[in-house]
Structure 1
């Protein structure tokens, strides 16, 4: 089966052999009530309240949402308005930590007897996708159509990021047991653990661990970008195509990130909700690149200082990888549920844009066969019918077209703006 188009990038996995280091408990945290796709939570605590580790401090009545928990013990000092990296505003709970890390009485293994109680527990865990938009996990695991295959996304194709790889190396039992548990509780026949071929140790380990289970397939994928994108990894792992307007479950597949999966297995055993994240810290302004485990709500400044970063030299700060990550406008913004990396760059230059030379590189590299230059032309004249015909809604904003454009045109950005012109059903 021919694999989809993509980029051959220098993956710069500088921290792949850096074991995860626990960041010291911060003196103060700021925990936003919106850290996932869906309705923001409302605070359940007020100024002066004492909170403990694992305590629920935010909840939403809306179905498309997950609760927020504290990763520290201490006293609530403020409930403020907070502007997220994408510009939306939500409440944030600020806590002065007492350093004792007292565990809440709420933390106890959930009682799970069937699929329904499992999905309820997944929601209570606060789990959402560990990267990207943060899709609520309990919704993803409860599709409306029958599913026969679950794909565990362990591609980690973005340059620099090694957080998922360290999960696989440091907690392989949680990954393999998590696969078996979720497959059984949801009644899914087959599982595919999809790993890029630049992670041979992980492939070897899991191939040995799954040797006696013919329902778990270790899929070795070419090391290319954007191998970890949902539509791409589904096709390259199963040959199934997710069409425009379809969900992965419409093809009988659901996809879950490997770190999300391992977290859920630990939650089932311990009852500790999502209160911390593993992040890769790298970039040429970082003195000691490493993987750190940080409590959600810790400021990026503290993480960078812990990794001996030359703060004054930082010209660009990116949350995530260089291809799909988002600019972090303020060093004091907090780690959130979707944080998986922070890159501090000191030699960043904005390249000048020139006219399209019709070279076709953007078309050749697009995994979904789109025509970014034509989308750009249609967007400029606001030709909505042409944008529909060009299938702009299929764009997953991987940035490959922008990366290869010799004219330095911001094609991926234009694609996103063009999507906003299409009326939603």
Structure 2
């Protein structure tokens, strides 16, 4: 006699109307073989499967038609024999109504199996090959989100599993798929539990069933017999079927926030998953069918069927006696956690445990949401001990940091808070939307961090390459220095052998080409500068071919360029003949340099005058005056016989330095002239403006005063 198991309670919970008796009156039925099957490639959490068949291929029942594309993925098998007619987007059972990639299979009616490989005695196998069999059979959880079973059973080394819990609760209203499976396939359920016990080797196995399923409890206890398992019945309360809630009810232990049952040494599996494991190991059959509840007042024959994966929902509803005129909403799942389907052409998938065809009286539209009255009923009903009211406010404000601090992801979306809310606020919808947005932001941040990490690694690689190149350069420089020293030593040795009494390095250095002298460097720079000035002038002439000033400037720059280059070449040639330059060479070179400098300043002056035009600004007047002074200074440095015959217009005469007072008076006069022209142009644009007329008169008065001051000063200088 097994010792009774202590039953614990969970926080909150509700007791909605069950409506389970309608669908358990006809046992477990088998609908007709559908003519067409739609097999979505994504029927579980993780990556979608990859097709391994092509359009036109013939397949057998149980043959793999799509393989897993990652660790968290499941392969897909043909539920019957037939021909692949399409691979592409097809209707998919989702709240969005969007399509999903799927393989469409036309049945040939023969329902012919492929070759199977059953295991005669699984107890001879270790855990790894059994897990591989479960993985290749495409088994994922048949009760919740559809997590791949083989991945869920692979606990990390530090996670020693001591308790295996089988979830036969099925607390959602209307759904009786697990209840029916336990009633009519209890032996297969227990066989699947034994296979998991062999794999995990737990210390304790608990099968939890709510007490509103007395026939299922009795059938399971009869199937268990004296096996080391406990069938535990406990009071009915929604949502006791939640994984964390069931663990707390049967063991009194709580899964930590953000953690998994494996973190506390437990694994929880569904009744339907146990049947699939039995079929995969004992019979060698992959997961191609599941028990599905067909219920609702719009059906004349509610029942439970063993439905092939991929069967169109329309076919199953027709089998259950659908009354289209009474159908208001079609829900996949139960009324608490299910979602409304947009199309009857979508297929049954591995997680489809119920199809609820409700009338408008059975599933009326929700009333309009009212403001929260802070009654606190949602907090009392929450089985996860969260604060739904606070989560609601932060969800509306998109304060994701606060939502994570309040453990939003511990919400199991059971809908208990929405069920008891007197203001009819759709709380669960807010939570689902916030979860999706947080996941999207975290994925975006993960990609950004990954890109940043790649960029930092690239910088490190480039730094290493640069360091390596620098080391190689230093090695080459050292090698060249050693070779140079060796050659010098060889030259010294050769001189010694040739009969020189005192060979030394100085004699070797005498054979090296002499470096440029300071004078030669200066001439080289002057030649390069003249070439650049000539090139620039030619470029300006090409863009402005009608400019007479540029045409006149080109020959002068060409002569300067030829003179500087000739002087530089002559300096190099004289050095090759003898080291002592001619007596007048330095003077001639200095004269040439001064002429080039004066010519370049004159070119800059002409350019500034062209830019200023007839109405120069104050800044342009200053620039032109400064350039004229530079031209005068440069021409003053030339020898008397090289000075230009005609000075530049407006330039002080060479040899007569301009005193500071004269320069200041000329600057004042130029500024006054610029101000007068500016006021004159403004008045031309706005004639009749009295204020501008006053400004023009003031500018004219200032210009006359500046001109008179300059004239008086020049007259006094002449008198002196």
TM-score (norm 1): 0.95
1:311 aligns with 2:318: no
- State the alpha-carbon separation in 2 of the partners of residues 204 and 292 from structure 1: 22
The separation in 2 between residues aligned to 1:204 and 1:72, in whole angstroms, is 34
Q: Bigger CA drift: 337-346 or 107-116?
A: 107-116
Match in the other structure for 2:19: 12
Which residue matches 1:129? 141
Name which one, 1 or 2, has greater alpha-carbon Rg: 2
The answer to whether the 8 Å contact 1:4/1:236 transfers is: no
- Alpha-carbon distance, 1:294 to partner: 1.4
Quote the residue 1:188 is aligned against: 202
Alignment-derived partner of residue 221 in structure 1:
234
Matches within 5 A, 1:2-401: 2-13=9-20, 14-82=22-90, 84=92, 85=94, 87=96, 90-105=100-115, 107-110=116-119, 113-144=125-156, 145-213=159-227, 215-347=228-360, 348-401=364-417
Q: CA RMSD in A?
A: 1.7
What is the deviation of 1:17?
3.5
- Taking structure 1 as reference, are residues 285 and 216 closer, same or farther at Cα in structure 2, changes over 3 Å only? same
User: Deviation of residue 178 (structure 1)?
Assistant: 2.0
Greater CA drift, 307-316 or 119-128: 307-316
Secondary structure, counterpart of 1:313 in structure 2? coil
User: CA–CA distance in 2 between the matches of 1:363 and 1:188?
Assistant: 36
Inter-partner Cα distance in structure 1 for 2:225 and 2:165: 17
Shift of 1:171: 1.1
Please identify runs of 4+ aligned residues in structure 1 that moved more than 6 A. Answer: none
Cα deviation for residue 57 of structure 1 reads: 0.5
Q: Contact 2:95/2:342 (CA < 8 Å) preserved in 1?
A: no
Taking the aligned partners of 1:83 and 1:309, their CA distance within structure 2 comes to 20
2:71·2:151 contact (CA, 8 Å) conserved in 1?
A: no
| Partners of 2:393 and 2:427 in 1: CA distance | 10
The range that moved more, 196-205 or 241-250, is 196-205
1:388 Cα shift? Answer: 2.3
**The one of 380, 402, 413 aligned to 2:418:** 402
Bigger relative contact order, structure 1 or 2 (CA pairs below 8 A, ≥6 apart):
1
Deviation at 1:90, TM superposition (A): 3.9
CA–CA distance in structure 2, aligned partners of residues 93 and 383 of structure 1: 41
2:430 counterpart of 1:414: yes
**In 1, are the aligned partners of 2:388 and 2:427 still within 8 Å (CA)?**
yes
Q: CA deviation at 1:43?
A: 1.2
Q: CA deviation at 1:89?
A: 5.5
What is the alpha-carbon distance in structure 2 between the residues aligned to residue 83 and residue 149 of structure 1?
40
CA positional deviation for 1:272: 1.0
CA–CA distance in 1 between the matches of 2:68 and 2:52? 10
Contact 1:365 1:401 in 2 (8 A): yes
Output the CA distance in 2 between the equivalents of 1:273 and 1:364: 43
Residue deviations 1:21-57, cap 9 Å, x none? 1010011111111111110011111111101100101
Measure how far apart 1:184 and its partner are.
2.0
Q: TM-score, normalised by structure 2?
A: 0.57
- 5+ residue gaps, structure 2: 1-7, 447-720
Deviation at 1:193, TM superposition (A): 0.2
Shift of 1:16: 2.5
Runs of 5+ unmatched residues, structure 1:
none
Q: Secondary structure at the match of 1:150?
A: strand
Deviations 1:110-149 (A, max 9, x none): 5851100010001011111113321101111112111101
Higher normalized strand content (fraction of residues):
1
Distance across 1 between alignment mates of 2:412 and 2:9: 20
